[in-house]
């Protein structure tokens, strides 16, 4: 055992000096390798963190949202529907919600206007999301002028801003009083955008949703799990686009690694011949190359992953944000809570370290099985 340790220590020693001898080649490999891991790692960290963020926010979302359909399309829902829903056994609360979109031609973006169910702002006052605040450079006391359904402008004073903690889904939000909302959009009294329902026993959510659909056949109940799934697939899809692009980068990397790491130079082949001639076994030579591959891989992988972590969690993934976050013009801007999925890190490890190490070993093995007498003829 001691002999095995000493032998590997000596071989590792030689490997380190070999790496230092070929500084140029190994540094360029390190740089490209790190870059690929950085990009793949960034996409992975960002997608995971956003899914988790969205899931955390949706945790407080209503268990069931009931919308009315007319001709298969969304239509305002009568307020008395909430009474009917509340009468279903197992429903604890059912209340109407008022919300809609407003296009602001000044910045070319859509706002989500909403009447909060509690603590609504006083008349002619609004509370704005941080995306709105940033893009309009507006703060408390500033006045927003919205053009109503009838063509008249209505002025609203900013009474406050929403907490940036929920920015991912509230960047474009504006909260206002019910009367202001109805007045601005001409939303008929006695109707709401949708109805939110809470259920006493979470296990009964699907049963209640089915009962709502039976009682009010012109409605569509949407349960929270469906919303969570929709968010998941939206972020998966966005992450997927980047991952597909990065797969191409990975492929380019594999070709590069194969070329750089596997193409043994004449000097390296000669060196392998010398080592074999002075009594090194084929397995010793392969061990040197495997250690070389593993060392380059390990340090590049670690550096790339650390850089990706910093990029996503300390610099808010500034390189990827336009492709990955939000569907509005008002991009959320906030620091993502660090979150690492070890399974994905392991996948990334096997996608990069293993192919690279194999790419370095095979040609060395080919060179190492030649007769050592070739060195006598060099």
**Contact footprint for other proteins (CB under 8 A):** 2-7, 9-11, 13-14, 17-18, 20-22, 267, 270-271, 274-282, 284, 371-373, 375-378
Nearer to other proteins, 6 or 225 (CB): 6
To other proteins, the closest distance from the beta carbon of 275 in angstroms equals 7
To other proteins, the closest distance from the beta carbon of 17 in angstroms equals 5
CB 273 within 8 A of CB 378: yes
To other proteins, the closest distance from the beta carbon of 21 in angstroms equals 3
Residue 327's Cβ-count burial label (10 Å; 0-12, 13-18, 19+) is exposed
156 membership: H or E segment, kind and range: strand 153-161
Q: What phi and psi, each to the nearest 5 degrees, are found at residue 264? A: -75, 135
> Cβ of 86: how many Cβ atoms within 10 Å?
14
Rounded to whole angstroms, the Cα distance separating 83 from 77 reads 12
To other proteins, the closest distance from the beta carbon of 25 in angstroms equals 12
Nearer to other proteins, 277 or 303 (CB): 277
H runs (alpha helix) in the chain: 2-21, 23-58, 80-86, 130-136, 167-170, 178-185, 205-215, 224-257, 266-277, 282-313, 321-324, 342-368
Nearer to other proteins, 189 or 376 (CB): 376
Nearer to other proteins, 1 or 106 (CB): 1
CB 85 within 8 A of CB 212: yes
Nearer to other proteins, 22 or 211 (CB): 22
Cα of first residue to Cα of last residue in the chain, in angstroms, is: 37
Nearer to other proteins, 7 or 229 (CB): 7
To other proteins, the closest distance from the beta carbon of 368 in angstroms equals 11
114 membership: H or E segment, kind and range: strand 109-115
Nearer to other proteins, 259 or 281 (CB): 281
To other proteins, the closest distance from the beta carbon of 294 in angstroms equals 18
Give every CB contact of residue 348 below 8 A, 6+ residues apart in sequence.
Answer: 37, 40, 41, 44, 301, 305
To other proteins, the closest distance from the beta carbon of 292 in angstroms equals 14
Rounded to whole angstroms, the Cα distance separating 101 from 267 reads 68
Q: What phi and psi, each to the nearest 5 degrees, are found at residue 126? A: -135, 155
């Amino acid at each position: 055992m001691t002999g095995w340790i000493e032998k590997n220590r000596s071989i590792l020693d030689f490997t380190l000096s070999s790496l230092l001898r070929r500084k140029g080649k190994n540094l360029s490999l390190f740089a490209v390798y790190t870059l690929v891991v950085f990009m793949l790692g960034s996409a992975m960290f960002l997608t995971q963190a956003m899914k988790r963020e969205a899931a955390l926010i949706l945790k407080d979302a209503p268990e069931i949202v009931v919308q009315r359909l007319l001709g298969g399309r969304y239509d305002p829902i009568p307020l008395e529907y909430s009474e009917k829903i509340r009468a279903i056994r197992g429903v604890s609360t059912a209340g109407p919600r008022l919300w809609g979109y407003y296009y602001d031609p000044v910045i070319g973006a859509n706002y989500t206007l909403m009447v909060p169910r509690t603590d609504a702002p006083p008349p002619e006052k609004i509370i704005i999301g941080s995306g709105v605040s940033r893009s309009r450079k507006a703060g408390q006391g500033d006045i927003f002028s919205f053009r109503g359904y009838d063509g008249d402008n209505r002025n609203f004073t900013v009474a406050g801003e929403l907490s940036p903690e929920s920015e991912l889904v509230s960047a474009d939000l504006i909260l206002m009083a019910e009367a202001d909302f109805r007045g601005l959009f001409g939303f008929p009294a006695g109707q709401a955008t949708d109805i939110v329902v809470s259920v006493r026993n979470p296990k009964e959510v699907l049963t209640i949703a089915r009962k709502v659909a039976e009682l009010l056949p012109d409605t569509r109940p949407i349960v929270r799990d469906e919303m969570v799934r929709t968010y998941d697939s939206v972020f998966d899809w966005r992450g997927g686009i980047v991952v597909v692009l990065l797969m191409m980068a990975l492929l380019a990397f594999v070709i590069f690694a194969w070329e750089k790491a596997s193409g043994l130079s004449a000097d390296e082949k000669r060196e392998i011949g010398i080592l074999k001639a002075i009594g090194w076994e084929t397995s010793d030579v392969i061990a040197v190359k495997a250690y070389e591959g593993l060392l380059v891989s390990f340090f590049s992988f670690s550096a790339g992953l650390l850089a990706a972590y910093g990029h996503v969690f300390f610099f808010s993934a500034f390189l990827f944000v336009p492709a990955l976050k939000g569907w509005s013009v008002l991009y959320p801007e906030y620091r993502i809570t660090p979150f690492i999925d070890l399974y994905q890190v392991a996948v990334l490890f096997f996608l990069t370290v293993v192919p690279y190490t194999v790419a370095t070993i095979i040609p060395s093995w080919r060179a190492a099985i030649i007769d050592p007498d070739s060195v006598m003829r060099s």
